[in-house]
Amino acid sequence: MGFGNQIKTVLLLGLLTGLLLVVGRLIGGQTGLFVALIFSVLMNFGAYWFSDKIVLAMYRAKPADKKSYAHLHKIVDEVVAAANIPKPKVYIIPTEAANAFATGRSPKHAAVACTEGIMKLLTDKELKGVIAHEISHVKNRDILVTTIAATIAGVISYLAHMAQFAAIFGGGRRDDNRGGSNAIALLALAIITPIIAMILQLAISRSREFLADHSGATTIKDGEPLASALAKLDKAALHHKMGMGNEATASLFIVNPLKGHGLISLFSTHPPLDIRIKRLKEMKF
């Protein structure tokens, strides 16, 4: 299952790249494509490099004192030893909402943050399953993968805006039917391609969540603790909402506060919880 999710991520990134090339060719502006690429790379490189500091400050996370949170540090120590990566910095988020996330550009520059709520809600065994999931995000370099996806999607969105501008202000320069058709095609391109890019980007995020579930359970050789934790966290989310941050950071957390089904699930950063739990319970060691 883990290898399958890796392949899926590669295919989705390939589709995003292919969409970028198609849009670039249709617009025909090599200079505009280059400028958009440079701008998007610089913007996402900055977010990638400083993401840990930004998100930790956003949620008012504080370093977890080793004496006050000795059992949390013990769990993290056990998981990183099993995963064979350096120990990340450990933080506590002052909220009763039960959740956790990992951030950082590499295993050597990573952080894991747990809310006060999740510390109270879960047993140590369930918390270990959650920590193993988050450590897997670090080990699998998911921040890098999602940054690449965001960069490509950002360039596509930029080019789509260029296409919209060209359709509105440049489509009327030619009076023949072909000129009108080109303007309509550019306008359709401007509307549809950003949506497709966003769907592909979110699909990559969901694929990485499945991979972190699988990798985390494999690390501790047990899928039940994480499955049990996810069920508890899902119920707890109905009573305690994250009062900080915004939708842009929803993908970081182990449980997404924004739920959806059917068509709406295409725009979710996380896979359906029941599927995640089912897969974890079916894992054999």
* pLDDT per residue rounded down to tens, the chain (285 residues): 555 555 665 566 666 666 666 666 555 556 656 665 676 666 666 666 776 787 888 889 999 999 999 999 999 999 999 999 999 999 999 999 999 999 887 899 899 999 999 999 999 999 999 999 999 999 998 877 776 776 677 667 666 666 666 666 655 444 445 455 666 766 776 777 777 777 877 888 888 999 999 999 999 999 999 999 999 999 998 777 776 555 557 778 898 755 544 445 556 778 889 999 999 999 998
Domains identified in the chain, total number: 1
Is the pTM here over 0.85, yes or no? no
Of 237, 229, 236, residue with least CA distance to 259: 237
Which residue range forms the structural domain that includes residue 257? 2-282
Of 222, 271, 227, 234, residue with least CA distance to 8: 271
Question: CA dihedral in degrees (10, 15, 21, 24; nearest 10)?
Answer: -130
How far is 35 from 283, CA to CA, in rounded Å? 47
In this prediction, residue 62 carries a pLDDT of 97
- Which residue carries 């060719």 as its tokens? 25
52-87 as b/e, with b when 16 or more CB fall inside 10 Å? beebbeebebeebeeeebeebbebbeebbeebebee
Kindly list the catalytic residues: 134
